[in-house]
Amino acid sequence: MQRNLYFDALRGIAIMMVVAIHTFYACEFDSWLSICAISMREIFNMAVPMFLAISGFFIGRMVFEDKRQVFAFWKKQIPKVYIPVLFWSIPYFVLAILCEGQSILENVLLFFFCGYSIYYFIALIVQCYLLLPVMQKKMLNPVMGGVILCISMICVAVVSYTSITKLPLIVFAGPVIVWLIFFWLGVYISRSSRDYDIRWILIGGIISFVLMVIETKFRHESTGGGYGIKPSSFVFSFLMILLLFSKRIEMQYKSGNIINKVLVVMGNYSFPIYLIHCFVIILVFHFVSVPVWIVRWAIVVVITMLIIYLARKVLPKKYLKIIGF
């Protein structure tokens, strides 16, 4: 099947957003420059929702005629994402046990349940894969979508406004119910013509963006943080996915444009970038201090892509599969 370069470019945008989030340093609402930086950081909160929606869009059209096909799908897809995460979790596990003297049982659980670093996303994807057959049969209607949206909004409000964030990331960000609306949206859109009116979506996106920045300022003043997911960022992400997945926006895509070509390459590198960019951040910025966000961002992207490129040139395919490259 021919690749859809537009969605590869969206993957590229999403993974750039992920790296940008993790190279962002907290700042105050004390100048126009910092307000612009925070506003951009808030837009990037749509990265995880977009990845979930893209995944739902492409696998949502699969047809399962019997349980055997369902199990074949799980057997093929889950190891592709789960085994590489186990591999890249090994350094975290070893450091936690040998260097920090942490609980072995706790770290065994973190290891097998994708609890290290930002690997909660793989736990999300695995849960989405497991839910897909049920979703296709019983949940693909606007009423169920509304129910899922309400549940997700309640969950993200709990995450945003309670002390649950003091627990490991996998505990409050790993349950699929928090993010399920975005996977559902991708699956639902995959079954539609995508030829819908985007004017009201665009207006809603602008309004939700303003509300998102206001909510961030409110939370920052009360907690000192507030940059992460929140109810307003979920609304913004939902509307932006509707906008970007529409046929009208896709028709504006020019595959020959140099920027789009770069984004497609980034999209094809997105999974290995996700797996190792935090290692690059830790190692590089342990030795070098870079005060400018966009420079930190660019350094991490270039070094990470170079490592992946060299690994793909040198390592046999069987090892590349294990490490997710």
DSSP summary character for residue 253: -
- Model pLDDT for residues 6-16, shown as the tens digit of each residue: 999 999 999 99
All residue ranges of the chain with pLDDT < 70 are 1-2, 224
**Rounded to whole angstroms, how far apart are CA atoms 220 and 156?**
17
- Model pLDDT for residues 216-272, shown as the tens digit of each residue: 988 887 776 778 889 999 999 999 999 999 999 998 888 778 999 999 999 999 999
pLDDT, position 34: 87
Please name the residues in contact with 130: beta carbons below 8 A apart, sequence gap of 6 or more: 74
**Rounded to whole angstroms, how far apart are CA atoms 308 and 280?**
12
Concatenated DSSP letters of 159-216 = HHHSGGGGS-HHHHHSSHHHHHHHHHHHHHHHTS------HHHHHHHHHHHHHHHHHH
Q: Are 194 and 245 in contact (CB under 8 A)?
A: yes
pLDDT, position 28: 76
Helix (H, G, I), strand (E, B) or coil at 11: helix
Whether this prediction's pTM lies above 0.75 is answered by yes
Nearest to 22 by CA among 219, 259, 307, 301: 301
Q: How many residues does the chain have?
A: 325
Q: Are 161 and 155 in contact (CB under 8 A)?
A: no
**Rounded to whole angstroms, how far apart are CA atoms 320 and 325?**
5
